[in-house]
Structure 1
Amino acid sequence: MTPEASDEGVLRDLRASGAAPALPAALAASVLAFLSLTAGALVPVVDGGERGLATGPVVLVVLAVLPLALAAAFALRGGTVSAAGVLAGAAALAPGRAVLDLQLAADPSRASRPELYLPSDLYAHSAALGLWLLVAGHVLTAVAGVLALRSRAGAAGEVAAGDAGDPGRRLAVAVSAAVVAGIGLVMQPFTSTEVYLLAQNAFEGPVVAMAGYLLVAAALPVTAAIAVSSGDSDLMRGGLLGAAAGGAAVAVPAVVAALGIGTVGLAAGPVVALVGLAVLVVAALVRIPAADVPDTGEAEMRLPGSVRLRAGAGAAALAAGACAVIGAVTPQLETQGPIAAPESPARWSLLAAGVVVGVLGAAMFVPRIAVLVRPVLSVAWVAVLVAGTAVLDTAVIATGSAGGVASSGPGVVWTWVAMVAAAVAACSSVVAGAVERDDLDDAGLDDADDGSADDGSGVRMSAVLLAALAVAGVLTVVGFGMPVFTAPDYVPAGLWARFGTPSWGLLAGAAVTVGALVLAARSRQAPAVGLLCGVGAVLALHAASFPLSRGEIAGVSAGPGFWFAFAAVIAVLVAAMAAALVRPVREDADAQGGRRKR
């Protein structure tokens, strides 16, 4: 049989199994991604630079082919949905991996990537062709994932719901394993006695590398939650395996470098990450027994109940709040000698954010108010990120400029654990909201033609509400973009000037709050009010960083960001009152029907 005939046979098999035409295109894009990543592993990534590991290219090639090999194996056996899941799961981590590689273009001397480049001097080196081939490979991986998701609509590779076991238990196992893996990835990748090779965790390293590690760490639990909650056991299996393959591509090179380079030692970070990824693979392949429930004759796989999801979100929020409080009161820096370690002026903001998120988490365990608190928590969690990144900025600056005198203290670890736990709480809260909406759909309560809820609590849009939301959105963006306080000889980080570690938290805060304002315009009445209350809490905590820091910085005064954030809080309160007082959709429709009957 000729290769052309073999290729045609594979395509016929894909079509026969129900795969949409996009799946062959996704596989083709994945082949191109593998070729680009392989070329990038073989070609120098830095002009005049050398690898520290002779076997580095071989390891990178094996890791690059892994998602493609899994997807091709599933597709050839008729598991087209699983193949699409593998490509989509790997694509979810591609943006973070691309940003992580771009550190070699920003400053290769600070990149902890000995499998690609081992610094040997302090001279400035420019990026070479290999780096851009790696970035192109990640872009093609993302394209393959998008095409794979498009193919799922035309695929028919479903497995009976009974084969999936208990989706609630699988969700807990998969998300927990992904969180552990993400924590491992942001930890120190290895130890180093090499003069020019830095061995720092994500928060001590350069900004670009930190952003890449955080994107990968955040994508892992989100991908796991979406895959398990998809309701399709094939897509779940492929998605978890693809995410595990993408995470392994970040963790394995650090382990290989520690074993193959004499001046580099093994650290706990990548080991923790690989343990989490191994559990993620087990969650994808092993059937988890279902709990004993009455047989209703329904074969449809469903998400765990919203009560359990709210409890999970509450537990994560409680953990985030507790870790934030501990991170605020424990030292962020430790010094050798008589020099006192500086304290972050933002630690009191982190303490306040931890208390607020912790209280909301505790309220999620009270059934009567959990439904009302959940939308608030879906927004308020980001306050931990806003304050946490500001606290970590002190450690990043001090460890990078103190000539080795200062090192990270326990507060750094507690702070970034709080940030990860807050993100997990947000994911659980959002999934719980989706289940609540599905429950309304199943009960026939959400059938309005315009897409708004028609359960007696839907919001009929008013001019006051729309105007307040628009004004609040503009003020929110400006409030996060400009400094909340100013002081002599102190230039705070922002979105438009001195983009640093705190800027990532400000960016997340602006994105989440503005997104919540947009969503509130389309939500039912109670969730809309809850979302707006969450936005108000985040803005109030952001503005409170000025009075909370007055005793920490000499000559501090209110900056323009404080007044814009304060004005945004007022606009949000007006919007919340307008949403709470406006007549619900159904009541309005019933009133019109009554007039027509008369």
Structure 2
Amino acid sequence: MRSRLPVGALTPVAIGGVAIGAVLIAAGPRYPVAVTLDGAGAGTPVGPAFGVWPLIAVLSVVPAVVAVMLLLVRQRGPALALIASLGVVAIGQVLLNVQLLLDPIRAARAELVAPLGLGQLRPELGAWLLLAGQLLTVIAGLAAAREAGALRGERSMDEPAIGPRTPPGAMVAGVGCAVLAGFGVLTAPYASSDPWLVPRSVLDSPAWSSAGGFALAVGIALAVVLACSAPDPRVAVGGLVGASIGVLGVVVPKLAVAALADPLRITIGPVLATLGGLGLALLAAWVGHRGRRDLVFGSAAGLDRLAGPPASVLAVRCRLAGAALAVLTGGATIAAALTDPLRLAADLPHPELPTRWLLVAAGAVLVPLGVATAPRRMGPAVRPALAVALVVVPTVAGEPLGELLGVLGLDGVDGGPGLWLLLLAVALAGASALALVLAGGFERDEIDLVPTPYEGPVAAASAAAAVLAVPAFWLPLVDGAGWAPTGVLQPPFGLASWGLLAGFAVTAGALLIAPRCRPGQAVALFGGVVVVLVLRLGRLAVAAGQLPPDGLGEGAWATGLCLLLVLVAAPIALRARPKLVLSSVAESGAEREREEVRP
């Protein structure tokens, strides 16, 4: 059912919403965001750790000014794309501001509130202004997205068949920057020596802050993907600029207050997010330059460049990028295990990670897999195995990261090179997995399979293994105390549990997808699952002398049975012979050729 609103009706809503929202966000920190509670009902305003209100005001007003300027020069498409990207990013900000209203202390917003003691705090006018400003930005983004879609539909009939297009490589670069920014916003915003100001990562935050952090990371990625998928490079530039400003508006105040306030210190998270935001700005400049150059020089000699490289070329590029990142991931993991994770005062004991050799094993597996993924002949066959095996990095690193981050910030305790290398390894693993998944998508554009029914011995064994993956990761490996969580359901729920959840999701997904793949791809997926399960059981081997008298837990037995089923399914899948067909694009071209030669 078509909307009755004419094209252009929601543009004032988008512009007015983002402008009023920017004013409210800029004005919020000028009023008390929280006050202390006392018996008389009045309260004392609690200020930020350091006054960065001018920076917050500038970052909130700049996108509205840019959008208005674009409209004044009759660039409505880029202006709407900018506002839409801001609205998507603002959804996470709304949830974070809800936590600021519910409990200002646990919100960990040092740029807005820095508590001075254990007394309870009450939200004040500034917090409500911030929430209202972010809500208006979300509404403006929804209006802009609807208006941009209607505007694109109106112009589709008048667009020339050949003209400037958004470069295909922008998607890969944009998603890489979005991953970097998303990882940055999920980590702790700063380190603190103030006992009343406790920084929290998204995984250790209250419910609303955790949901807001995840929504913020997903919103950044969604804004970048939508911007890079726009065929018009001007619209893509607007969306990328909006995503860049949205990221910088979130992380730059945190970075500034951590650098300027005495009890706070800068951590790697906001730095990575800032680099991701700046990378999006550079990508927008490159896309705009390419679009303008193609508009001027894109005659017959430039048509191939405007069309972009074929899917096979993009598949090779993504595969090589994923292989290189996987080798770097393995190297960073090994280096993290062999270097000091913390810098301690002279009177403190030196810690030793129980999973150090498990990290070395994970890195030792990823380096040769990454090298094997690069060659032209072997690479496409090894790529699925590497894409699955990369999940061992967060699975293995979750336990030591939880322990290290739990003591970081105490007196005499600071992050060492091992900790930062481990965080870098997790980020590189995510970027490598994303590049390899994109490579697989481009490969499927060239060749596809006839739909096969989900039946037969391979499907049965794979489905049974997927079912066993639930207790394999959710139940503990050992019965008894003295160990960190070795199962998702084993308390306390922390970084180790999140790493196990990632391992479970990738393992179960690979087992369910494998029966529908070509034989080589299915065997590679099973091989990656074997790597994950073997390293899962390796947690028992690295501390065999610490096994409790109660013996192995249900998770260990389920992991062993799951591994056995995967080893049975792999040789059966290798003997399958699916029928290969051309992709839909190639098939339609072949059909047209048959019609042309038909008498």
TM-score normalised by structure 2 residue count = 0.75
Alpha carbons of structure 1 residues 474 and 230: separation in structure 2 relative to 1, 3 Å = farther
Which amino acid letter does the alignment assign opposite residue 44 of structure 1?
Answer: V
1:427 CA drift (Å): 1.2
Contact 2:7–2:147 at 8 Å: present in 1 too? no
Aligned ranges 1:21-170 → 2 under 5 Å: 44=33, 48=37, 50-52=46-48, 59-60=55-56, 62-64=58-60, 82-83=78-79, 85-87=81-83, 89-90=85-86, 93-94=89-90, 97=93, 109=105, 112-125=108-121, 154-156=150-152, 163=164, 167-168=168-169, 170=170
Alpha carbons of structure 1 residues 190 and 149: separation in structure 2 relative to 1, 3 Å = same
What is the CA–CA distance in structure 1 between the aligned matches of 2:135 and 2:478, rounded to whole Å? 39
Match of 2:42 in 1: none
1:517 CA drift (Å): 3.4
Match of 1:373 in 2: 382
What is the CA–CA distance in structure 2 between the aligned matches of 1:482 and 1:136, rounded to whole Å? 43
1:249 CA drift (Å): 1.6
What is the CA–CA distance in structure 2 between the aligned matches of 1:553 and 1:335, rounded to whole Å? 29
Which amino acid letter does the alignment assign opposite residue 113 of structure 1?
Answer: R
Match of 1:408 in 2: 415
Alpha carbons of structure 1 residues 204 and 465: separation in structure 2 relative to 1, 3 Å = closer
Q: Which range is displaced more, 411-420 or 486-495?
A: 486-495
Q: Which range is displaced more, 356-365 or 96-105?
A: 96-105
| Aligned match for 1:549, one of 543, 547, 552 | 543
Alpha carbons of structure 1 residues 114 and 521: separation in structure 2 relative to 1, 3 Å = same
Contact 1:47–1:128 at 8 Å: present in 2 too? no
What is the CA–CA distance in structure 2 between the aligned matches of 1:426 and 1:505, rounded to whole Å? 15
What is the CA–CA distance in structure 2 between the aligned matches of 1:567 and 1:407, rounded to whole Å? 42
What is the CA–CA distance in structure 2 between the aligned matches of 1:35 and 1:84, rounded to whole Å? 19
1:301 CA drift (Å): 3.7
Alpha carbons of structure 1 residues 571 and 227: separation in structure 2 relative to 1, 3 Å = farther
Which amino acid letter does the alignment assign opposite residue 326 of structure 2?
Answer: A
| Aligned match for 1:568, one of 562, 565, 569 | 562
Alpha carbons of structure 1 residues 165 and 336: separation in structure 2 relative to 1, 3 Å = same
The answer to whether structure 1 residue 467 and structure 2 residue 460 are counterparts is yes
Which amino acid letter does the alignment assign opposite residue 438 of structure 1?
Answer: D
Q: Which range is displaced more, 238-247 or 282-291?
A: 282-291
1:544 CA drift (Å): 1.8
* Structure 2 counterpart SS, 1:345: coil
* Structure 2 counterpart SS, 1:569: helix
Contact 2:165–2:307 at 8 Å: present in 1 too? no
1:567 CA drift (Å): 2.1
Once the two structures are superposed, what CA deviation does each residue of 1:397-453 show, in whole Å capped at 9, x if it has no partner? Answer: 2336xx51332221110001001111111111111111111222xxxxx4xxxxxx2
1:62 CA drift (Å): 4.7
What is the CA–CA distance in structure 2 between the aligned matches of 1:351 and 1:211, rounded to whole Å? 33
Once the two structures are superposed, what CA deviation does each residue of 1:478-526 show, in whole Å capped at 9, x if it has no partner? Answer: 2222222345444526433311121221222222333333433544443
Once the two structures are superposed, what CA deviation does each residue of 1:217-258 show, in whole Å capped at 9, x if it has no partner? Answer: 687578646744665534532332222122112222135536
Which amino acid letter does the alignment assign opposite residue 382 of structure 1?
Answer: V
Which amino acid letter does the alignment assign opposite residue 474 of structure 1?
Answer: V
Alpha carbons of structure 1 residues 306 and 229: separation in structure 2 relative to 1, 3 Å = farther
| Aligned match for 1:432, one of 415, 439, 460 | 439
Match of 2:356 in 1: 347
1:327 CA drift (Å): 0.9
Q: Which range is displaced more, 379-388 or 413-422?
A: 379-388
Match of 1:443 in 2: none
Match of 1:6 in 2: none
Contact 1:184–1:268 at 8 Å: present in 2 too? yes
Aligned ranges 1:498-509 → 2 under 5 Å: 498-509=492-503
Once the two structures are superposed, what CA deviation does each residue of 1:278-313 show, in whole Å capped at 9, x if it has no partner? Answer: 342132133456999995855434565211111111
* Structure 2 counterpart SS, 1:118: coil
Which amino acid letter does the alignment assign opposite residue 412 of structure 2?
Answer: V
Alpha carbons of structure 1 residues 229 and 353: separation in structure 2 relative to 1, 3 Å = farther
TM-score normalised by structure 1 residue count = 0.75
The answer to whether structure 1 residue 510 and structure 2 residue 504 are counterparts is yes
What root-mean-square deviation, in Å, do the aligned CA atoms of Structure 1 and Structure 2 show?
Answer: 4.5
Match of 1:243 in 2: 243
1:359 CA drift (Å): 2.0
Matched-pair identity in %: 31
Contact 2:176–2:431 at 8 Å: present in 1 too? no
Alpha carbons of structure 1 residues 191 and 35: separation in structure 2 relative to 1, 3 Å = same
Contact 1:462–1:582 at 8 Å: present in 2 too? no
Which amino acid letter does the alignment assign opposite residue 362 of structure 1?
Answer: V
Which amino acid letter does the alignment assign opposite residue 562 of structure 1?
Answer: A
1:61 CA drift (Å): 5.2
| Aligned match for 1:420, one of 416, 424, 427 | 427
Task: Provide structure 2 residue ranges, at least 5 long, that are not aligned to the other structure.
Answer: 38-44, 582-599
What is the CA–CA distance in structure 2 between the aligned matches of 1:358 and 1:430, rounded to whole Å? 18
1:322 CA drift (Å): 0.8
Task: Provide structure 1 residue ranges, at least 5 long, that are not aligned to the other structure.
Answer: 1-10, 16-20, 441-445, 447-452, 588-598
The answer to whether structure 1 residue 384 and structure 2 residue 373 are counterparts is no
Which amino acid letter does the alignment assign opposite residue 114 of structure 1?
Answer: A
| Aligned match for 2:523, one of 518, 522, 529 | 529
Match of 2:369 in 1: 360
* Structure 2 counterpart SS, 1:334: strand
Once the two structures are superposed, what CA deviation does each residue of 1:335-368 show, in whole Å capped at 9, x if it has no partner? Answer: 2123322222222222222222222211121111
Alpha carbons of structure 1 residues 409 and 520: separation in structure 2 relative to 1, 3 Å = same
Match of 1:593 in 2: none
Match of 1:540 in 2: 534
Alpha carbons of structure 1 residues 436 and 24: separation in structure 2 relative to 1, 3 Å = farther
Q: Which range is displaced more, 483-492 or 416-425?
A: 483-492
Which amino acid letter does the alignment assign opposite residue 420 of structure 1?
Answer: A
Which amino acid letter does the alignment assign opposite residue 115 of structure 2?
Answer: P
Which amino acid letter does the alignment assign opposite residue 481 of structure 1?
Answer: W
Alpha carbons of structure 1 residues 534 and 288: separation in structure 2 relative to 1, 3 Å = farther
What is the CA–CA distance in structure 2 between the aligned matches of 1:154 and 1:227, rounded to whole Å? 16
Contact 2:399–2:484 at 8 Å: present in 1 too? no
Match of 1:397 in 2: 406
What is the CA–CA distance in structure 2 between the aligned matches of 1:123 and 1:185, rounded to whole Å? 28
Q: Which range is displaced more, 384-393 or 493-502?
A: 493-502
Contact 2:487–2:497 at 8 Å: present in 1 too? yes
Q: How many residues align?
A: 553
1:470 CA drift (Å): 3.1
What is the CA–CA distance in structure 2 between the aligned matches of 1:104 and 1:410, rounded to whole Å? 34
| Aligned match for 1:316, one of 313, 325, 329 | 325
Contact 1:335–1:405 at 8 Å: present in 2 too? yes
Alpha carbons of structure 1 residues 372 and 141: separation in structure 2 relative to 1, 3 Å = farther
1:326 CA drift (Å): 0.8
Q: Which range is displaced more, 180-189 or 229-238?
A: 180-189
1:572 CA drift (Å): 3.2
Which amino acid letter does the alignment assign opposite residue 253 of structure 1?
Answer: P
Which amino acid letter does the alignment assign opposite residue 568 of structure 1?
Answer: C
